[in-house]
Structure 1
Amino acid sequence: MQHGSRDITLRFLAEPSDVNFGGKVHGGAVMKWIDLAAYACAAGWSKKYCITAYAGGIRFVAPILVGSLVEVNAKIIYTGNTSMHIGIDVQASDPKEVNQQLTTHCIVIMVAVDENGKPTPVPQWNPVTPNDIFLRESAIRLMNMRKEIGEEMAAHVKKP
């Protein structure tokens, strides 16, 4: 099965419409950018329409100011049968300087679907470098933790 590029970077300027009451870019705007980059990465890799199954571990490390040059880097770090785990880093800097600062990091899981909305197989990604192997192992550990969290959260859902 053919696959496309494993990573993608979106670049743009943070606009005044992205700002919250405190004068910083609001989390919703950042999450929209993350979803766009995850979709572009997953669709590019799988050559299929993809849907977001999970976005988690979102850490807002530093604020983004209006007028900042924003880079959203999305990279495949694990592939299942129909899913792709994508590591996302959001970095921002003053466009007049080159001091990129990590502002947000998270993992998004995208699922490739067919024309009926049913999950469909994706090309497999096999890590080679030590860093890629580490990222894949980390994605698997996080997947197992999410299962435990899901079971724990189920206890909080009221039964009819």
Structure 2
Amino acid sequence: MEHGSRDITLRFLAEPSDVNFGGKVHGGAVMKWIDLAAYACAAGWSKKYCITAYAGGIRFVAPILVGSLVEVHAKIIYTGNTSMHIGLDVRANDPKDPAQTLTTHCIVIMVAVGEDGKPTSVPQWNPTEPKDIFLRESAIRLMNMRKQIGDEMQAHVMPFDEETS
């Protein structure tokens, strides 16, 4: 199965409409940019329409200021049968100063879907570089941890009153 590029970088200029009450770019704007980059990466790799199945481990490391040049780098770090795990880094800088600061990083899982809206297979990514093998193994460990967290979260899905009646 043929695949496209494994990574993509999107660039945005942080606008005044992206600002929160504290004067910094709000997390919702950053998450939107992350979702756009994850979609572009997954669709480019799979050559199919993709939907977001999971976004997690989001760390807001540093604030983004209005007027900053924002760069969102997305890269495939693991492929399942129908899913693609994508590592994302968000960096920002003043357009007049090339020194970038890491502001946010996370993992997003995208699922390829066919015309019928059901999950469909994606090309496999088989890393060969040690750093890429490490990223894939890390993605697998995180996947197992998410399953444990999901099992724990089930207790929060059913309201307490229903549980006791």
Return the TM-score normalized by structure 2. Answer: 0.95
State the number of aligned residues. 160
Cα separation, 2, equivalents of 1:76 and 1:94: 28
Match for residue 40 of structure 1? Answer: 40
Match for residue 153 of structure 1? Answer: 153
Cα separation, 2, equivalents of 1:158 and 1:123: 37
In the TM superposition, residue 75 of structure 1 has moved relative to its aligned partner by 0.1
Over aligned residue pairs, what C-alpha RMSD do you find? 0.7
Return the TM-score normalized by structure 1. Answer: 0.98
In the TM superposition, residue 133 of structure 1 has moved relative to its aligned partner by 0.3
- Structure 1 ranges of 4+ moved more than 3 A: none
Matched position secondary structure for 1:148: helix
In the TM superposition, residue 29 of structure 1 has moved relative to its aligned partner by 0.2
In the TM superposition, residue 30 of structure 1 has moved relative to its aligned partner by 0.2
The structure with the larger Rg is 2
Match for residue 23 of structure 1? Answer: 23
Deviations 1:32-55, CA, capped at 9 Å, x for gaps: 000000000000000000000000
**What stretches of structure 2 of length at least 5 have no aligned partner?**
none
Cα separation, 2, equivalents of 1:137 and 1:84: 14
Deviations 1:72-124, CA, capped at 9 Å, x for gaps: 00000000000000000000001101110100000000000001110000000
- Higher mean alpha-carbon deviation, 149-158 vs 122-131, is at 149-158
Cα separation, 1, equivalents of 2:158 and 2:41: 37
Matches within 5 A, 1:118-129: 118-129=118-129
Cα separation, 1, equivalents of 2:158 and 2:76: 36
Match for residue 59 of structure 2? Answer: 59
- Higher mean alpha-carbon deviation, 147-156 vs 37-46, is at 147-156
Cα separation, 1, equivalents of 2:117 and 2:38: 18
Match for residue 104 of structure 2? Answer: 104
Matched position secondary structure for 2:25: coil
Match for residue 4 of structure 2? Answer: 4
In the TM superposition, residue 156 of structure 1 has moved relative to its aligned partner by 2.1
Cα separation, 2, equivalents of 1:63 and 1:71: 14
Q: Which amino acid aligns with 2:89?
A: D
In the TM superposition, residue 155 of structure 1 has moved relative to its aligned partner by 1.6
Cα separation, 1, equivalents of 2:46 and 2:82: 9
Cα separation, 2, equivalents of 1:11 and 1:158: 41
Deviations 1:118-158, CA, capped at 9 Å, x for gaps: 00000000011110000000000000000000000112222
Matched position secondary structure for 2:78: strand
Matched position secondary structure for 2:8: strand
